[in-house]
Amino acid sequence: MGRVSGKVVLVTGGGSGIGRATAVLLASEGAKVVVTDINRNGGLETVQRIGGQASFIEQDTSSEVDWKRVIAEVVGRHGGLHGLVNNAGILGKYPSRFEDETLEEWRRILSVNVEGVFLGCKHGVPAVRDSGGGSIVNLSSLAALVGTPDLSSYGATKGAVRQFTKTVAIDCARRRYKVRCNSVHPGVIATPMGDVLTTDQARQRIIDRIPIGELGQPEDIANGILFLISEESRYITGSELVIDGGMHAI
Ligand SMILES: NC(=O)c1ccc[n+]([C@@H]2O[C@H](COP(=O)([O-])OP(=O)(O)OC[C@H]3O[C@@H](n4cnc5c(N)ncnc54)[C@H](O)[C@@H]3O)[C@@H](O)[C@H]2O)c1
């Protein structure tokens, strides 16, 4: 019996990095995983790696039309939804100081990182509630907890996700929806997004700032997400799980 056996879990941005590792781990613990992504090939590759229990739906998480279609399709196909991992996100241009940032770029990053999570909760929570309850996990970042002068828009979006997660958690708890909502805050993780931050010149300088002394792996984040999706975390809502090799503790 797996730790999330029988649960239907939707993972956005599951075609790469943390989303892919999460989808693979959840499936290995018994979940029926639905992977979504704007990157069709990446999403299909994740599903192929899992085999059997997983499926792919193309989705742009910044589109409300897409969210309505995806949730209806998942509930129609599987009879319910018990977990949602709002993982899809973009970094934007790096480095980007706020004085040099264009309004267009600011809005582009917000549309995926903030509006995508808002829409996921807006349309995902009723489906989870109506399926008997479950868990929403929103991917925030260490960038939500500290100033990010080289990632001005990105840091702001992750701060918004952190705060909004608590709002959803409290609202759902007070309404007795049986829907929990928590944020996860990775440090620097070895994924295509993390690679942008850890170019050859910057890599050792970043590693030197990580108390544990190495970059995180996507599986390190997936393990935290699995815990939050499973019933092992049944009393945890509105909380933030920092997985950063100790960076935020110094
Ligand atoms: N890698 C890190 O160091 C790190 C650190 C902190 C937080 N995070 C967060 O973790 C999450 C996953 O990051 P990752 O490192 O795996 O990144 P990644 O770039 O490897 O993967 C992100 C996935 O999201 C998809 N995506 C992007 N925009 C989308 C959209 N509009 N609709 C649907 N899919 C979309 C991409 O196609 C890609 O497959 C992100 O929210 C990111 O901000 C990552």
The answer to whether residue 231 scores a pLDDT higher than 90 is yes
52's CB contacts (< 8 A; 6+ apart) are none
Written as six digits, the tokens of 136 are 């929403």
CB atoms within 10 A of CB 188: 23
Q: What pLDDT score was predicted for residue 77?
A: 97
Crossing angle for the helix pair 218-229 and 17-28, nearest 10 degrees? Answer: 50
The burial class, CB within 10 Å (0-12 / 13-18 / 19+), for 47 is buried
Domain ranges in the chain are 8-244
Ligand 1 site, CB within 6 A: 12-13, 15-19, 37-39, 42, 59-62, 87-90, 112, 116, 139, 141, 186, 188-189, 191-194
Q: What is the pLDDT of residue 21?
A: 99
8-244, what's its fold?
A: Rossmann fold (3.40.50)
pLDDT for the residue numbered 23: 98
Q: Is the pLDDT of residue 1 over 90?
A: no
Concerning whether 177 is annotated as a catalytic residue, the answer is no
What secondary structure letter does DSSP report for 89? -
pTM here is 0.99
By C-alpha distance, which of 10, 3, 164, 7 is closest to 86?
10
When the pLDDT of each residue in the chain is averaged and rounded to a whole number, the result is: 98
Position 201 scores a pLDDT of: 86
pLDDT number for residue 52: 84
- Tens of pLDDT, residue by residue over 150-165, are 999 999 999 999 999 9
Tell me how far apart the alpha carbons of residues 27 and 2 are, in angstroms, rounded to a whole number: 9
For residue range 81-110, what is the model confidence (pLDDT) as tens digits? Answer: 999 999 999 999 999 999 999 999 999 999
Residue 107: Cβ within 10 Å count:
11
Contact 80, 53 (CB under 8 A): no
For residue range 179-225, list pLDDT tens digits in order.
999 999 999 999 999 999 999 889 999 999 999 999 999 999 999 99
Q: What separation in Å is there between the alpha carbon of 187 and the centre of ligand 1?
A: 13
Given 94, 154, 177, 235, which residue is catalytic? 154
Q: What is the pLDDT of residue 94?
A: 95
With residue 23 as reference, give the H or E element that holds it. helix 17-28
